[in-house]
Chains A and B, each alone.
Chain A
């Protein structure tokens, strides 16, 4: 009896999140885990080329060359309204993924909203992005501006 009940359980992730990808997403764009309350977890997409390579570094300080970038890993947000979070447009870059073979992939936010948090663990363990893509290797947390997921592609149905 107990075993039947146990094997029918879905994972916490499946129970609580819906998988989405942005409209017209390329392979290099992020995927999303959306919580019904609104918060979006940004993760690497299954189609991303970096998955097949070795990731050496995840750099959250985009635009260093132009000296006007914001290091996303250094931001702090305050209060329920997450004041101080970087305002994102779909094209805003969250980070730069640098691979062992020299290739670099900028990762776009893919959605309009506020950046709440980036996964600082990726600074010291960048390969988590590949080995634990939907768990410890998540990229960032975003609070979308409005009902952003309604325009997205729901990936959960295809799984």
Chain B
């Protein structure tokens, strides 16, 4: 049985003996001696792969320190995670099964990752000035790679546990099926470890690595989730970025609500990426009034915490004429997910400015109120038919109230089920939405919609909050 070469750190911690530099001999597993030259030549280690070597640690810490100095995180602490090479994890598991190695060091039974974190924490604190803790927004993940033993380790395991290395059939059908070594992952090693017996473990050969590990690291701050409600006062502003197959040309567009709000927050927080989600959306020519539509923004890897929410709100509202944000506050990821749940059950309230080809009859308009609630059947509107399947949807109108304006115009206020195409209900969409408003008022007349506003999106948002903190009539500025 060949001896196992260890670095001075592992010698001391695990084997329990001090490694004598330049001495005549050092003891190994079976009494065979290694030469002084070999001992002095390397700090190579079959257990830690050199990752615990103080010079190596210092180098990695210096790299991290440089990255931290060049970035703008306003956090004073961090959480450290280490990813070790698969081969190293395999060895640790095998060592556990061996009682013949004479490991009598005080830290012999301590898991490697604890020894490793211990080795790095001090150096990282010195290099970065950030305090390592168990709980922080900032995450430092250092990954060590060493593929030198991937093949021999795989061969060893294939010999003893061939059933764990069956390539899934789906991968075999690819033009170039991946090599068998790709199945050797940390998870695979840990699952094999439970089946590992001492006799098999004794057959393993602890080769000494000839290369140092390649280290890389990633600094990432936990995402911040913001919730609020937005109002859109322009009839020429899309909610989301303009896409190629939306209808062209109703005017020059300078960004969208989502882009403008996200850009603003991104600049304030120095995040890498921002993601905007809202509870439904309105067309470019439809205003969003009332308290506003619920939305959430995710700030990915923000560098700076944002100042107080009311300050941000005021600044957003001062910056953009046509957008107003209210009720802004921070929420958890789970809370932000609520936005997408139960879309079907939400109710929306609208006001529509309508035109009637025949003279408006106030009696017929008043009668509308009693026709609700009613169910519509809407075929996919012509204007979205390009990118949606052709189906017929039942939708409910819960309330209607019409107000005459002049001989041919009236205002309709209505509350509908989520997903109702209100414009198509008013003008009938070539008769494909039945009944249409014309059908209900006077089938002989044609009714058209001139303007549409969303008055209310019925959702308690931000969650767990009193949504009507400052009731604002019809979206007028504060």
- In angstroms, Cα B380 to Cα A78, docked, is 12
A12 adjacent to B427 (CB under 8 Å): yes
Q: Among the interface residues A2, A12, A38, A121, which one has the most CB atoms of the partner chain B within 10 A?
A: A12
- In angstroms, Cα B431 to Cα A119, docked, is 9
Q: Among the interface residues B245, B382, B383, B448, which one has the most CB atoms of the partner chain A within 10 A?
A: B382
Q: Among the interface residues A37, A82, A141, A143, which one has the most CB atoms of the partner chain B within 10 A?
A: A37
Could you tell me which A residues sit within 8 Å of B by CB distance?
A: 2-3, 6, 9, 11-13, 16, 35-39, 41, 77-80, 82, 116-117, 119, 121, 128, 132, 135-136, 138, 141, 143
A37 contacts which chain B residues (CB < 8 A)? Answer: 245-247, 383-387
B353 adjacent to A6 (CB under 8 Å): yes
A143 contacts which chain B residues (CB < 8 A)? Answer: 385-386
Q: Is the C-beta of B248 less than 8 angstroms from some C-beta in chain A?
A: yes
Closest B residue to A137 by beta carbon equals: B431
A13 contacts which chain B residues (CB < 8 A)? Answer: 448
Number of A-B contacts (CB under 8 A): 75
B451 contacts which chain A residues (CB < 8 A)? Answer: 9
B448 contacts which chain A residues (CB < 8 A)? Answer: 11-13
Set A3, A6, A116, A136: member contacting B385, Cβ < 8 A: A116
Q: Among the interface residues A11, A80, A132, A136, which one has the most CB atoms of the partner chain B within 10 A?
A: A136
Closest B residue to A2 by beta carbon equals: B405
A116 contacts which chain B residues (CB < 8 A)? Answer: 385, 390
Minimum Cβ distance to chain B for residue A145 (Å):
13
Set A2, A11, A80, A135: member contacting B389, Cβ < 8 A: A80
A6 adjacent to B430 (CB under 8 Å): no
Known: A77-B389, A138-B430, A141-B382. 17 other contacts (CB 8 A): A6-B406, A6-B450, A9-B355, A11-B355, A16-B247, A36-B249, A37-B246, A37-B384, A39-B383, A39-B385, A41-B382, A80-B387, A82-B390, A135-B430, A135-B431, A136-B430, A143-B385
A136 adjacent to B431 (CB under 8 Å): yes
- In angstroms, Cα B408 to Cα A2, docked, is 13
B379 contacts which chain A residues (CB < 8 A)? Answer: 117
A6 contacts which chain B residues (CB < 8 A)? Answer: 353, 355, 405-406, 409, 450
B249 contacts which chain A residues (CB < 8 A)? Answer: 36
A80 contacts which chain B residues (CB < 8 A)? Answer: 387-389
B382 adjacent to A35 (CB under 8 Å): yes
Set B248, B389, B431, B449: member contacting A12, Cβ < 8 A: B449
Minimum Cβ distance to chain B for residue A129 (Å):
12
A12 contacts which chain B residues (CB < 8 A)? Answer: 423, 427, 448-449
Q: Is the C-beta of B446 less than 8 angstroms from some C-beta in chain A?
A: yes
Minimum Cβ distance to chain A for residue B253 (Å):
15
- In angstroms, Cα B387 to Cα A116, docked, is 13
- In angstroms, Cα B248 to Cα A3, docked, is 28
Minimum Cβ distance to chain B for residue A16 (Å):
6
Going nearest first, the 5 A-B pairs with the smallest beta carbon separation are A136-B431, A37-B386, A9-B450, A36-B247, A138-B430
23 A–B contacts from the bound complex (CB under 8 Å): A3-B406, A6-B353, A6-B355, A6-B405, A12-B427, A13-B448, A16-B247, A35-B382, A37-B246, A37-B385, A38-B245, A39-B382, A39-B385, A77-B390, A78-B389, A80-B387, A80-B388, A82-B390, A117-B379, A117-B390, A135-B428, A135-B430, A135-B446
B389 adjacent to A16 (CB under 8 Å): no
- In angstroms, Cα B248 to Cα A138, docked, is 24
A77 contacts which chain B residues (CB < 8 A)? Answer: 389-390
Minimum Cβ distance to chain B for residue A9 (Å):
4
B428 contacts which chain A residues (CB < 8 A)? Answer: 135-136
- In angstroms, Cα B249 to Cα A36, docked, is 9
B383 adjacent to A35 (CB under 8 Å): yes
B446 contacts which chain A residues (CB < 8 A)? Answer: 132, 135
Closest A residue to B245 by beta carbon equals: A37
B427 contacts which chain A residues (CB < 8 A)? Answer: 12
Within 8 A of A (CB), among B403-462: 405-406, 409, 423, 427-428, 430-431, 446, 448-451
Within 8 A of A (CB), among B377-400: 379, 382-390
A119 contacts which chain B residues (CB < 8 A)? Answer: 430-431
- In angstroms, Cα B388 to Cα A97, docked, is 31
Closest A residue to B249 by beta carbon equals: A36
Closest A residue to B424 by beta carbon equals: A12
- In angstroms, Cα B379 to Cα A116, docked, is 12
Minimum Cβ distance to chain A for residue B237 (Å):
17
A121 contacts which chain B residues (CB < 8 A)? Answer: 431
Minimum Cβ distance to chain A for residue B471 (Å):
25
A2 contacts which chain B residues (CB < 8 A)? Answer: 405
